[in-house]
């Protein structure tokens, strides 16, 4: 896929700040963080607040990857759902993870307020059903999350209320969560980076992490050297937070995720009245399909609509027309509306859609596999990683207990195998 970060409405709305320098020569620190998205910037911020000397390396610009391009819906839970998580871990650990994700929503609001991040945060999310089977699934999820998990911010909306809220005949019920929300993600991740630097973290942009090596210091301690094109970072710990954008840094991690292309369009400004009529409660909306549509309004009265994915890895560039077709299927009244911005990017998914956190070695931690649920989860994940490096590993280790398998087929066949599997799920969406 051609790089389209600069084509996003987020980028057009908030031009980039002054670039941080590329790394040249040798720098020393306690922790080297790789990846300038939400996970990496949150890790850097929380470590710096604990007094660690932190260096963050970003191969492009802060927010260049999924963190700065996504549909930006902040959700409780993880992408695989709590029922599957219970099967993977058991009920007790699944509860612990859900509580962490709820804390992640609170943490996000706290970070925005504490560091005065202007990112247009709006409370409220809706997951909407399109058919009777999905109505039953939302009812079961509502019962599970309220009765067993105590998630009291949820409300089940029936057809009449949904259609009075969303100006589309497509939806049959909804699960509304007052604890979730949406925001301008590029502004948010840049705000986290500023906060980290204010706490003393050093950020180097246009600096790709290439490889690390281990050595013994003069005092006999084990240490790490992380090599970059222009220099090196000498450190005691490495935190890998590059996700789908980490490249070939670690074959072990790469086998556990696969980059999936996702696409978003932004309409021209609709005006306050016309925009408000589309989503009367200003919530972020996503449907319950496997290949889902998701949409929300912006502060300047545009509709942002995401509705395509590519599992093949063969897409070259972004054609907003296909996503626009999906938008008009949901909102036929927008057939006359122009698309002003269209962009795409990679998100990382795991085979089981559960997040993949863990260690390559006692002093090398990683965060990846958010599978589309990273806007809030990546922030709290960075806090958990900082706790683990600081010696309190219990919360991080609950996530690390989730078993993950390689995508089958190796480098040659893993994508064709995934495409075939996705055909089944797309057919299921229609049933």
Buried b (16+ CB within 10 A) or exposed e, 270-294: beeeebeebbebbbbbbbbbeebbb
Per the listing, tokens 């626009």 go with 324
Question: 9 lies in a domain?
Answer: yes
pLDDT tens-digit series, residues 381-407: 999 999 999 999 999 999 999 999 998
CA distance 273 to 214: 60
Q: Which of 375, 31, 367 is nearest to 192 (CA)?
A: 375
Per the listing, tokens 């948010």 go with 188
Determine if residue 373 is left, alpha or beta; phi over 0 gives left, psi from -120 to 50 gives alpha, anything else beta: alpha
pLDDT tens-digit series, residues 288-325: 987 889 999 999 999 999 986 665 554 555 668 889 99
pLDDT tens-digit series, residues 165-202: 999 999 999 999 999 999 999 999 999 999 999 999 99
pLDDT of amino acid 290: 72
Which is it for the CA torsion 184, 185, 186, 187, positive or negative?
A: positive
How many folded domains does the chain comprise?
1
CA distance 180 to 123: 6
Are 56 and 202 spatial neighbours (Cβ–Cβ below 8 Å)? yes
Question: 429 lies in a domain?
Answer: no
Are 13 and 353 spatial neighbours (Cβ–Cβ below 8 Å)? no
Q: Cβ of 245: how many Cβ atoms within 10 Å?
A: 24
Q: What is the mean pLDDT of the chain?
A: 91
Question: 296 lies in a domain?
Answer: yes
Q: Which pTM was predicted?
A: 0.93
Q: What is the CATH number of the domain that holds 210?
A: 3.50.50.60
Are 259 and 313 spatial neighbours (Cβ–Cβ below 8 Å)? yes
Are 8 and 343 spatial neighbours (Cβ–Cβ below 8 Å)? yes
Q: Which domain holds residue 59?
A: 5-424
Question: 135 lies in a domain?
Answer: yes
pLDDT tens-digit series, residues 338-387: 999 999 888 889 999 999 999 999 999 999 999 989 999 999 999 999 99
Question: 431 lies in a domain?
Answer: no
Question: 400 lies in a domain?
Answer: yes
Tokens of 47: 């470590």
CA distance 228 to 249: 11
Tell me if residue 119 falls in helix, strand or coil: coil
pLDDT tens-digit series, residues 73-106: 999 999 999 999 999 999 999 999 999 999 999 9
pLDDT tens-digit series, residues 197-248: 999 999 999 999 999 999 877 777 889 999 999 999 999 999 999 998 888 8
The answer to whether residue 137 scores a pLDDT higher than 80 is yes
CA distance 387 to 47: 8
Question: 332 lies in a domain?
Answer: yes
Question: 181 lies in a domain?
Answer: yes
């Amino acid at each position: 896929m051609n790089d389209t970060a600069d084509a996003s409405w987020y980028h057009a709305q908030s031009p980039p700040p002054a670039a941080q320098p590329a790394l040249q020569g040798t720098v020393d620190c306690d922790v080297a963080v790789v990846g300038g998205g939400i996970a990496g910037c949150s890790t850097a911020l929380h470590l710096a607040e604990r007094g660690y000397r932190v260096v963050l390396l970003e191969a492009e610009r802060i927010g260049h990857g999924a963190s700065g391009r996504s549909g930006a819906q902040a959700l409780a839970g993880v992408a695989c759902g709590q029922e599957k998580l219970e099967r993977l871990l058991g009920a007790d650990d699944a509860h612990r993870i859900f509580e962490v994700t709820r804390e992640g929503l609170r943490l996000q609001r706290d970070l925005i307020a504490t560091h005065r991040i202007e990112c247009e945060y709006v409370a409220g999310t809706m997951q909407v059903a399109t058919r009777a089977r999905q109505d039953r699934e939302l009812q079961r999820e509502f019962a599970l999350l309220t009765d067993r998990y105590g998630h009291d911010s949820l409300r089940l909306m029936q057809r009449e209320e949904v259609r009075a809220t969303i100006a589309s005949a497509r939806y049959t019920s909804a699960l509304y969560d007052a604890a979730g929300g949406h925001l301008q993600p590029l502004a948010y991740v840049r705000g986290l980076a500023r906060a980290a630097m204010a706490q003393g973290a050093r950020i180097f942009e246009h600096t790709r992490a290439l490889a690390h090596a281990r050595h013994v210091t003069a005092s006999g301690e084990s240490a790490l050297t992380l090599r970059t094109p222009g220099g090196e970072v000498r450190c005691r710990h490495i935190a890998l937070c590059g996700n789908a954008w980490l490249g070939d840094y670690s074959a072990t991690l790469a086998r556990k995720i696969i980059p999936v292309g996702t696409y978003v369009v932004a309409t021209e400004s609709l005006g306050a009245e016309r925009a408000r009529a589309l989503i009367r409660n200003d919530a972020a909306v996503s449907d319950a399909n496997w290949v889902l549509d998701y949409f929300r309004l912006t502060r300047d009265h545009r509709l942002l609509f995401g509705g395509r994915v590519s599992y093949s890895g063969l897409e070259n560039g972004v054609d907003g027309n296909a996503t626009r077709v999906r938008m008009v299927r949901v909102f036929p009244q927008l057939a006359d509306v122009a698309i002003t911005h269209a962009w795409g990017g990679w998100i990382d998914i795991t085979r089981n859609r559960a997040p993949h956190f863990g260690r390559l070695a006692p002093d090398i931690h990683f965060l990846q596999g958010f599978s589309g649920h990273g806007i809030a989860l990546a922030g709290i994940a960075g806090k958990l990683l900082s706790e683990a490096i600081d010696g309190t590993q219990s919360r991080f280790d609950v996530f690390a207990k989730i078993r993950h398998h390689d995508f089958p087929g190796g480098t040659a066949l893993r994508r064709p195998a995934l495409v075939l599997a996705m055909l089944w799920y797309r057919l299921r969406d229609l049933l």
